[in-house]
């Protein structure tokens, strides 16, 4: 999930991560909690790693200024966490929604097997 | 139940996706903005320059090489002029796209589109004083000169080539914060930028305030408060006294004037009266061989900086210097043979005409015995997340009726049309491009015939040792005091009829004193047969520069740099002794005595650590406020007399009525004013020290700061350790100062330049070099500029190379 999102977002707008987590969950069956968690962690960790890497590699050149500008207490780690949460929540819900939709679609064929 | 959960999840997912994609109040769209691959993180740069080494672009004719030196200055080597300016546009956009575009949103009165209705009044003002009107006319004129216009087209294509290669992830950070997209560049935007320069430099006037003051105080008092020239002993004009004028002047008949004395209030925002600059050049008599030139424009200090430095090289052109992001060619700089620099040549180029409409339909207005037709233009101002506001502007043959019943006018009675040279089209770009290529004084002067405005004192120096100063521009010939007050639009005798012929304009080459200089002072003495009025000439910087240059010999580039950074406070030198001598110290407490001693021992230099400079400034401010208290509670807008005349009045008329403080029953004289303002300044000093927790050394007290155009403190730099002030050669005041310092040496060895400015080539706050030159600028350090005739080969000198190829 994370790697598809990574490659997709090189050229696509950010909200494709919602589409991707949604599609992945439509295809890979799991329970609702698992779906949310995989979306949340998949994207959240991806964004955590990517932003953290940028923050460190650039000596917080811009993240420090943005952290001062927004109510993040001037702490770039906080900014990294906020970014991860934004990505995580978006991914989590995309994934959960995908899972719920699959279950509604799959319900009929599934029940007919019994 | 499942359906409800499903629906709820669907709603939440959709809501998150939408909410994280839109800007809410000042919060940028969180999903877009925090995305590490596209959001603000993508604007964090590891290297000073991150760009591909090879780019293929539509619109180029031939290959272009770009080499960035260690200061990120691009040296552009092209094979023809069009590719050269194409690349200038491309590279300028690479470093400064957001600034280029944003500043013109402001010029065109479109800020509401980005920031909402808070900016509506500002936008209306810009449109009403005719920025778009002048820009449209200029664009039409450009099109009639295909040779020049194709360069403007090429520049535009270059900017657009850069914009077309962008997606959200590499938009400058400001687009992401405000959540909007760059729009295509156009030739029209180049002409808007030209009008913006006129707006900054040639719209200053006080006609309405003068009219108000004349009506309030009467003629005699008005002339006492606002004399046109200082006494001869302090009069040191741009064109040295003694220069003769050998031509028959054109006459304009002076009518029996009766000014329409109408009160106006409030008044449209004006350019900063501190906008000004210094330039000076010394010839062989002063250098021992060759010439030296120095120039620095003193403007509002912002980030990204107003200037962008480039080196342009193609067959037939090799020019280096400061450019304005958004305009092709070099504005201030040098080529292989000459150097030139500008200071604002102040002259009253805005006049106001009271318009008498035939009736409330405003379709016709009176002009002698006739009724002339008006033209109505409906301006459409779009507002972010809101409706569109329409503003009808009436145009007369003078220009737009700025003040009327819909805008700052008093009902139907005040209709004021604006006549301004910047409403007329001009060929300044052609003029500057020819200057870029000029090789001697004759070609330079010939190029300036196309220069209309904003009028500048063009300093000139060449490798053969010539130094000169020319004041080109479009100057209406005025009868005495024409346009000093509101004029009568119904009288053709108040109109502008004739303009100054080219060979009547002011210029001087190799004057006997061996140097030329200008610092926004009076252009010339009264032997010049034309009326040259401005309300706001400078009285100090020019005299200091000339005092120094008169005594200097064997001048070196270092000497020129030292003079540019000179902190001598002429104002204090001429006012402080009078202020101190007047004080009766017998009843002073310890602190007052200490401050008094401090002031007595001051050398009048506003150096970084001078405490006396801070106290002088405070004391002066209190004194000036107490003295002109009469101006505080007038019901209409008036301006206070300028500093030079204030000191002159205190010295020579210590018992004048104005010196009395109106709020007290006693009648004060100058002595009492000095005492009282001294005490008040001490209190105010103590308050400042308590509040700031700092000592009151000058640079801390003054706080020179360079503010990002969006006023984001994190993208701005404050508390810069620099001396100087306004009215001082090193004109760094709080928000204002030397925006590009340049010194050029020209002799038989060739041309060598040094420069520095308070900012950086890169406009990206996420670049490690953002604002990197500020410290050196503040300390008076200059960088020696590279000026190769062909591409550099020494890799040590090249920070980054890029090749552009036609696609």
> Which ipTM did the prediction report?
0.92
User: How do residues B512-562 score in pLDDT, each as one tens digit?
Assistant: 999 999 999 999 999 999 999 998 899 999 999 999 999 999 999 999 999
Is residue B634 very low, low, confident or very high in pLDDT (cuts 50, 70, 90)?
confident
Instruction: Using DSSP bridges, classify how beta strands B416-420 and B350-354 pair: parallel, antiparallel or unpaired.
Output: antiparallel
Contacts (Cβ under 8 Å, ≥6 apart) of B512:
B240, B242
State residue A112's pLDDT score: 47
> Chain A partners of B47 at a C-beta cutoff of 8 Å?
none
B34·A87 Cβ contact <8 A? yes
Which of helix, strand or coil describes residue B31? helix
Q: What is the mean pLDDT of residues B418-433?
A: 93
Contacts (Cβ under 8 Å, ≥6 apart) of B292:
B281, B282, B461, B555, B556, B557, B560, B743, B744, B745, B746
State residue B703's pLDDT score: 96
Considering the entire predicted model, what is its pTM? 0.94
CA–CA dist B795, B69 (Å, integer): 10
Asked if the model's pLDDT at residue B361 lies above 80, the reply is yes
Nearest residue of B to residue A57, measured between CA atoms: B46
Give which of B34, B169, B712 to mutate to test A binding, by max A Cβ within 10 Å.
Answer: B34
| DSSP assignment string, chain A | -HHHHHHHTTTS-TTHHHHHHHHHHHHS---HHHHHHHHHHHHHHHHHHHHHHHHHHTTTTTHHHHHHHTTSTT-HHHHHHHHHHHHHHHHHHHHHHHHHHHHHHHHHHHHHH-
Q: Which of B636, B656, B638 is nearest to B646 (CA)?
A: B656
Give which of B7, B17, B36, B167 to mutate to test A binding, by max A Cβ within 10 Å.
Answer: B36
CB of B167 within 8 Å of a chain A CB? The answer is: yes
Q: Packing angle between helix B643-652 and helix B611-627, nearest 10 degrees?
A: 80
CB B80 within 8 A of CB B103: no
Of A59, A86, A97, the CB nearest to B10: A97
- Joined together, the tokens standing for residue B11 give 């709603």
Asked if the model's pLDDT at residue B570 lies above 70, the reply is yes
Q: What is the mean pLDDT of residues B278-296?
A: 95
Sign of CA dihedral B257, B260, B266, B269: negative
CB of B712 within 8 Å of a chain A CB? The answer is: yes
| Beta-bridge mates of residue B293 | B281, B744
State residue B273's pLDDT score: 76
> Chain B partners of A104 at a C-beta cutoff of 8 Å?
2-3, 6
Q: How many CB pairs under 8 A join A and B?
A: 112
Q: Which of B408, B322, B518, B451 is nearest to B125 (CA)?
A: B408
Averaged confidence pLDDT in chain B: 93
A65·B16 Cβ contact <8 A? no
State residue A108's pLDDT score: 58
A47·B168 Cβ contact <8 A? no
DSSP state of B632: T
Of B10, B168, B715, the CB nearest to A65: B715
Which of helix, strand or coil describes residue B706? strand
State residue B117's pLDDT score: 86
State residue B633's pLDDT score: 78
B173·A14 Cβ contact <8 A? no
State residue B408's pLDDT score: 74
User: How do residues B617-629 score in pLDDT, each as one tens digit?
Assistant: 999 999 999 999 8
Q: Which of B200, B297, B81 is nearest to B731 (CA)?
A: B297
State residue B412's pLDDT score: 57
Alpha carbon separation from B450 to B142, B429, B430, B444, B447 (Å, rounded): 12, 9, 7, 11, 6
State residue B409's pLDDT score: 65
Q: What is the mean pLDDT of residues B700-707?
A: 96
Share above pLDDT 90 across residues of chain B, in percent, rounded to a whole number: 81
State residue B269's pLDDT score: 78
CA–CA dist B679, B698 (Å, integer): 20
Is residue B411 very low, low, confident or very high in pLDDT (cuts 50, 70, 90)?
low
Least confident of B410-424, B557-571, B787-801: B410-424
- The order of strands in the sheet holding B800-806 is B54-57, B800-806, B64-68, B74-77, B308-314, B317-323, B332-335, B338-344, B456-462, B467-470, B507-509
Element (H, E) at B389: strand B388-395
> Chain B partners of A94 at a C-beta cutoff of 8 Å?
13
> Chain A partners of B40 at a C-beta cutoff of 8 Å?
62-63, 66
> Chain A partners of B31 at a C-beta cutoff of 8 Å?
14-15, 86-87, 90
State residue A114's pLDDT score: 47
Q: What is the mean pLDDT of residues B365-378?
A: 95
CA–CA dist B174, B765 (Å, integer): 9
State residue B612's pLDDT score: 97
pLDDT in tens, chain A (114 residues): 778 878 877 888 899 999 999 999 888 888 889 999 999 999 999 999 999 999 999 999 999 999 998 877 788 899 999 999 999 999 999 999 998 888 887 765 544 444
Asked if the model's pLDDT at residue B647 lies above 80, the reply is yes
Q: What is the dihedral of CA B282, B284, B285, B286, to 10 degrees?
A: 40
> Chain A partners of B7 at a C-beta cutoff of 8 Å?
none
């Amino acid at each position: 999930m994370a790697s598809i999102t990574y490659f997709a977002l090189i050229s696509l707008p950010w909200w494709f991560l919602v589409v991707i987590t949604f599609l992945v969950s439509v295809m890979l069956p799991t329970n609702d909690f698992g779906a949310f968690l995989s979306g949340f962690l998949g994207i959240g960790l991806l964004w955590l790693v990517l932003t953290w890497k940028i923050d460190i590699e650039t000596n917080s050149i811009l993240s420090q200024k943005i952290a001062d500008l927004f109510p993040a207490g001037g702490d770039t780690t906080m900014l990294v966490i906020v970014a991860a949460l934004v990505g995580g929540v978006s991914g989590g819900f995309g994934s959960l929604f995908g899972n719920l939709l699959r279950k509604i679609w799959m319900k009929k064929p599934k029940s007919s097997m019994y | 139940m499942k359906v409800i959960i499903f629906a709820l999840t669907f709603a939440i997912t959709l809501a998150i996706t939408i909410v994280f994609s839109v800007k809410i109040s000042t919060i940028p769209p969180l999903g877009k903005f925090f995305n590490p691959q596209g959001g603000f993180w993508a604007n964090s740069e590891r290297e000073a320059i991150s760009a591909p080494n090879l780019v293929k672009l539509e619109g180029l004719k031939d290959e272009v090489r770009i080499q960035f030196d260690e200061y990120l200055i691009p040296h552009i080597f092209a094979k023809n002029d069009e590719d050269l300016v194409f690349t200038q546009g491309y590279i300028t956009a690479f470093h400064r796209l957001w600034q280029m575009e944003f500043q013109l949103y402001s010029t065109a009165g479109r800020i509401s589109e980005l920031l909402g209705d808070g900016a509506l009044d500002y936008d209306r003002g810009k449109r009403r004083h005719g920025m778009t009107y002048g820009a449209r006319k200029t664009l039409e004129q450009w099109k009639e000169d295909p040779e020049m216009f194709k360069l403007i087209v090429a520049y535009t294509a270059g900017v657009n080539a850069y914009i077309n290669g962008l997606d959200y992830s590499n938009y400058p950070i400001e687009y992401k914060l405000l959540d909007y997209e760059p729009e295509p560049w156009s030739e029209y935007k180049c002409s808007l930028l030209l009008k913006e320069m006129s707006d900054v430099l040639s719209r200053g006037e006080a006609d309405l305030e003068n009219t108000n003051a004349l009506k309030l105080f009467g003629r005699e008092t008005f002339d006492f408060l606002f004399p046109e020239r200082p006494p001869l002993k302090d009069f040191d004009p741009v064109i040295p006294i003694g220069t003769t004028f050998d031509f028959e002047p054109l006459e304009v008949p002076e009518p029996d004037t009766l000014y329409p004395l109408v009160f106006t209030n409030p008044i449209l925002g004006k350019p900063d009266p501190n906008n000004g600059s210094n330039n000076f050049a010394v010839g062989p008599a002063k250098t021992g061989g060759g010439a030296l030139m120095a120039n620095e424009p003193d403007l509002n200090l912002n980030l990204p900086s107003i200037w962008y430095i480039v080196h342009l090289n193609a067959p037939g052109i090799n020019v280096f210097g400061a450019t304005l992001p958004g305009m092709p060619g070099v504005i201030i700089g040098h080529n292989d043979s000459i150097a030139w620099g500008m200071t604002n040549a102040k002259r009253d180029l805005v006049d106001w005409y009271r318009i008498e409409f035939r009736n409330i339909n405003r379709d016709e207005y009176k002009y002698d015995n006739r009724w002339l037709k008006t033209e109505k233009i409906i301006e459409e101002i779009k507002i972010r997340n809101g409706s569109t506001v329409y503003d009808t502007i009436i145009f007369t043959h003078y220009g737009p009726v700025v003040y009327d019943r819909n805008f700052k006018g008093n009902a139907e009675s005040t209709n004021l049309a604006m006549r301004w040279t910047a409403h007329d089209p001009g060929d300044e770009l052609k003029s500057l491009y020819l200057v870029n290529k000029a090789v001697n004084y004759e070609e330079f002067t010939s190029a300036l015939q196309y220069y209309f405005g904003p009028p500048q004192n063009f300093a000139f120096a060449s490798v053969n040792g010539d130094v000169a100063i020319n004041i080109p521009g479009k100057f209406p010939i005025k009868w005495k005091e024409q346009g000093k007050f509101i004029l009568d639009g119904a009288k053709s005798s108040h109109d502008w009829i004739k303009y100054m012929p080219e060979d009547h304009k002011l210029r001087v080459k190799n004057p006997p004193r061996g140097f030329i200089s200008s610092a926004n002072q009076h252009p010339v003495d009264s032997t010049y047969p034309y009326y040259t009025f401005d309300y706001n000439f400078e009285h100090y910087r020019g005299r200091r520069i000339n005092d120094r240059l008169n005594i200097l010999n064997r001048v070196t580039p270092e000497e020129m740099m030292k003079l540019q950074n000179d902190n001598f406070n002429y104002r204090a030198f001429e006012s402080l002794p009078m202020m101190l001598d007047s004080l009766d110290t017998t009843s002073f407490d310890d602190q007052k005595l200490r401050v008094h001693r401090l002031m007595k021992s001051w050398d009048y230099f506003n150096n970084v650590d001078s405490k006396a400079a801070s106290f002088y400034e405070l004391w002066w401010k209190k004194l000036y406020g107490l003295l002109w208290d009469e101006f505080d509670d007038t019901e209409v807008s008036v301006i206070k007399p300028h500093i030079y005349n204030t000191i002159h009045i205190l010295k020579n008329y210590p018992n004048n009525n104005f010196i009395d403080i109106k709020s007290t029953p006693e009648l004060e004289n100058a002595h009492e004013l000095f005492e009282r303002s001294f005490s008040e300044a001490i209190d105010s000093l103590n308050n400042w020290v308590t509040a700031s927790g700092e000592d009151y050394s000058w640079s801390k007290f003054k706080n020179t700061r360079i503010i990002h155009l969006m006023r984001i403190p994190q993208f701005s730099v404050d508390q810069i350790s620099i001396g100087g002030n306004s009215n001082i050669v090193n004109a760094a005041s709080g928000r204002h100062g030397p925006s590009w310092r340049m010194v050029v040496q020209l002799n038989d060895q060739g041309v060598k330049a040094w420069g520095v400015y308070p900012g950086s080539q890169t406009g990206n706050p996420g670049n490690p070099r953002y604002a990197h030159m500020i410290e050196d600028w503040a300390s008076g350090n200059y960088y020696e500029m590279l000026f190769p005739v062909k591409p550099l080969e020494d890799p040590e000198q090249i920070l980054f190379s890029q090749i552009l190829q036609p696609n």
